[in-house]
Amino acid sequence: MQPIALAVIGGTGVYALTQLDDVSTVQLDTAYGQPSGPIRIGTLAGQRVAFLARHGEGHSIPPHRINYRANIAALKQLGVRRVLALNTVGGITENWGPQVLGCPDQLIDYTWGRIATFCEEEGSEVLHVDFGQPYTPSLRRAVLAAAARAGVKVVDGGCYAATQGPRLETNAEVARLRRDGCDLVGMTGMPEAGLAREAGLDYACLAIVANWAAGCAGDEEITMDEVLANVAAASAGLPALVAQLLKE
């Protein structure tokens, strides 16, 4: 059978890749437990593509309870080599307003208490993987080229702050993230990216800006309705972008 060309991990507001044809569903178990839900494998632009909803298809798993290791291990079991992670985020700096799509090139990990490595078990080989460029440069370039060819605007580069959640940040926390050089903030970027690197997978993030992060647009309350509406609007270009990425 044709290998899987790409796996897409969907975040808040993206629970399926609607343009997949001939979809089959696999429910895997891994040495780290079960992934967030079934993995849907179908064809798109003549290639096999896998899709996994990070929070579960019913959005029932909060960011700190996601079994990131099982998700990455399950994709690896399927022979996946490349992962496009969709992450819903809040925007901090001026290029990152609501409904923007962006492909960050850096991250800072502020999460805590999550199992962040495959080296956790006693006796497992300790890996110190290089993570200077946390997102695979060649896959980032491919995403940006596909976006340009598909006519979908994507911000090139930026620093993703991975926070613990599930609550949103305080204004002071976001002010600190800004001082640290972060452009966008989300709750699921880590440890996923680090685990993908440990597993030897190419990994890039396509961030979908749902709202201005706390304090970045006055004191307007951030509501889930706003988040979902902006993700839906910003996701309009995703099918064309993913199809183009698979063609290249």
Q: In the stretch 220-239, what mask flags binding to ligand HPA with x, by CB under 6 A? A: -------x------------
The only residue of 14, 98, 169, 241 in contact with ligand HPA, by rule CB under 6 A: 169
Which 176-215 residues touch ligand HPA, going by CB under 6 A?
A: 185-187, 210-211, 213
**Least distance between ligand HPA and beta carbon 209 (Å):** 8
Place of tokens 């596909």: 146
**d(Cα 238, Cα 248) in Å, to the nearest integer?**
16
Instruction: Indicate the helix (H) or strand (E) that contains 210.
Output: strand 202-212
How many residues contact ligand HPA, by CB under 6 A? 13
The answer to the question of residue 17 lying near ligand HPA (CB under 6 A) is no
Question: Toward ligand HPA, which CB reaches closer, 22 or 225?
Answer: 225
> Residue 78 or 168: which CB sits closer to ligand HPA?
168
Is 223 labelled a binding residue?
no
- The only residue of 67, 71, 88, 111 in contact with ligand HPA, by rule CB under 6 A: 88
Return the DSSP state at 33: B
Cβ proximity of 35 and 22 under 8 Å: no
Of all residues in this chain, which one has the CB nearest to ligand HPA in the complex? 90
**Which of 62, 95, 63 has its CA nearest to residue 216?**
95
Token readout for 248 is: 């290249």
> Under a CB-based contact definition with an 8 Å cutoff, are residues 98 and 213 in contact?
no
- For position 109 contacting ligand HPA by CB under 6 A, the verdict is no
Residue 42: other Cβ atoms inside 10 A: 17
